[in-house]
Amino acid sequence: MTRLFDKTFWGLTIGLVALFALNFLLEEWMRSIGLQSLSRGCVAIGLLVLWRTGLVSFGHALFFGFGAYTVAMLQIIGVNDIILLLIGGCATAGLLALVLGFLLRQYRAIFFALLNMAFSMILYGVLAKVEALGSTDGIGINQVSFFGFVPSDDSYRPTLFIFAVIFAYIAAVGSHWYLKSTLGLMTMAVRENEIRVEYLGYSAEKAIHIKYVLSGVLAGMGGVIMALTIGHVDPDSMVYWTVSGDFVFITILAGTGNVGATFIGALVYELLRTYAFEFAPEIWQLILGGSLLLIIMFLPDGLWSIRSEWRNRRALAAAKSGDAPAGE
């Protein structure tokens, strides 16, 4: 816990290197699955941060879509480098989260979830009507340059993949370190007991606001990666409420114990979705929904909960065998 360079950090770094190497072996359809997992994984990390605070958003497609459409809008005005598009997407999504955060930080539980959903559906309603952005048909995204470098058509997707991996890695490590900071552990504190947080001398609402902005930036990043991956943005696949539902799905699938697990969850989701759609197109939603139900029923907080429960019992047993001062 003390060190920044802990198991999770090295795990993520090994993942980074492994993906670099894999990039040469992957077939294009696998790379697409990888890119989409990285994109949704970024959003799910943002949801993980909120989830640990006890908040669930049923509307993070708002920031995801905002990031994705920022790419489209920047391209319209001629900006076409990946780093500028990424910064633009994260910044606009983060700014939106900052503004909405002043309001949302006052809400908890189902009200927080639904207010997020309402905002995402407002954006959906707007985008579905804006002709300049293609309304319901959406708008195409052009190939981009990478710090000025324009790869050949053959190497475009592998290059995009490398960059997406790096962005996701930065997001994951940054979030992991954040969660170990004082502010990061305040996620838990706010979820468990806001009164205590106040009486320790910090504003629970402010803590929530910071987390909300962070989750907005991460969702914006996911949106940018997705827009570049698919090469197209449209309201139904970027902003509709079912898109938000998918993100929460991944968060549950992965559990909230570990940032790295989120990407594995995103990958599992992507594979589940792809294969279910491929081999059982009539029942792919059934398979998806069924797996979600199984997880909710049998692995409520992911594998992590089993681990901490076990640790707890051991510690209590150790304390009881010692000399307890004010025990029962």
Partner 1 sequence: MDFELLLVILVDGLVYSSYLFLVAVGLTVIFGVQKVLNVTHGAFYSFGAYLTAYLIGLWINDAEGGAFELLAFSLAVILIGSVFLGIVLGVLIERGLLKFLYTRDEHIVVLATFAGFLVLEDVILLIWGTDPYLAFRPLELMGSSEITGLIFDNYTFTMIGLSFLVAFVLWYGLNRTQFGKVLLAVIFDREVSMAMGINVTKIFLITFMIGTFLGALGGAYHAPIISVQPGIGVEVIVLAFAVVVIGGMGSIPGALIGAIVVGLSRAAAVHLYPELELFVIYAIMALVLIFRPEGLFAPIQARKI
Partner 2 sequence: MAHVLEVYDLEKNFGGVVAAHNINVTVDEGETIGIIGANGAGKTTFVNMVTGYLPPSGGRIEFLGKSVVGLHPRDVTKRGLCRSFQVPQVFLSESIFDNMLVAYGIAERSGLGLFTPIHTDERAARVDAHLKRYQIEDYRDVAASALPQGVRKLLDIAMATVRNPKLIMLDEPTSGISVEEKFGLMDIIMEALRQEDTTVMFIEHDMEIVERFVDRVWAFYQGEIICDAPTAEAMVDEKVREFVIGQEYHPAHLEGGAHA
| 7: contact with partner 2 by CB under 8 A | no
Q: How far is the CB of 128 from partner 1 (least distance, A)?
A: 6
Interface stretch with partner 1, choices 27-35, 103-111, 194-202, 312-320 (CB under 8 A):
103-111
The Cα-based distances of 274 to 25, 37, 145, 203 in angstroms read: 20, 11, 29, 44
Per partner kind, with CB cut-offs from 5 to 8 A, the member of partner 1, partner 2, none near residue 7 is: none
Q: How far is the CB of 54 from partner 1 (least distance, A)?
A: 8
Q: How far is the CB of 314 from partner 2 (least distance, A)?
A: 8
Interface stretch with partner 2, choices 28-36, 81-89, 199-207, 258-266 (CB under 8 A):
199-207
Tokens read off for 258: 């570990």
- Of 91, 162, 170, 288, the one binding partner 1 by CB under 8 A: 288
| 227: contact with partner 2 by CB under 8 A | no
Strands 232-233, 139-140: pairing is antiparallel
Q: Measure the CA–CA gap between 58 and 121, rounded to whole angstroms.
A: 10
Q: 161: closest CA among 250, 82, 244?
A: 82
Q: What is the amino acid identity at position 136?
A: T
- Of 16, 113, 264, 272, the one binding partner 1 by CB under 8 A: 113
Q: Measure the CA–CA gap between 34 and 273, rounded to whole angstroms.
A: 13
| 192: contact with partner 2 by CB under 8 A | yes
Q: Measure the CA–CA gap between 216 and 205, rounded to whole angstroms.
A: 16
Tokens read off for 104: 């949302």
Q: Measure the CA–CA gap between 126 and 90, rounded to whole angstroms.
A: 20
Q: x-or-dash pattern for partner 2, window 201-220, by CB under 8 A? A: xxx-----------------
Q: Find tokens 């698919």 and name the residue.
A: 230
Q: Measure the CA–CA gap between 53 and 207, rounded to whole angstroms.
A: 9
Bin 258: left if φ > 0, else alpha if -120 < ψ < 50, else beta: beta
List CB contacts of 1: < 8 A, sequence separation 6 or more: 180
- Kindly tell me which of 111 and 275 has the beta carbon lying closer to partner 1: 111
Binders of partner 2 in range 290-309 (CB under 8 A): 308
| 182: contact with partner 2 by CB under 8 A | yes
- Of 5, 7, 18, 129, the one binding partner 1 by CB under 8 A: 129
Q: How many CB atoms lie within 10 A of CB 277?
A: 14
Q: Measure the CA–CA gap between 104 and 97, rounded to whole angstroms.
A: 9
| 309: contact with partner 1 by CB under 8 A | no
Binders of partner 2 in range 268-287 (CB under 8 A): none
Q: Which helix (H) or strand (E) holds 140?
A: strand 139-140
- Kindly tell me which of 78 and 325 has the beta carbon lying closer to partner 2: 325
Q: How far is the CB of 257 from partner 2 (least distance, A)?
A: 13
Contact set with partner 2 (CB under 8 A): 1-2, 4, 177-178, 180-186, 188-189, 192-193, 195-203, 308, 311-312, 315-316, 318-319, 322-328
Which chain residues interact with partner 1 by CB under 8 A? 56, 58, 103, 107, 109-111, 113-115, 117-119, 121-122, 124-126, 128-129, 241-242, 245, 248-249, 252, 282-286, 288-290, 292-293, 296-297, 300
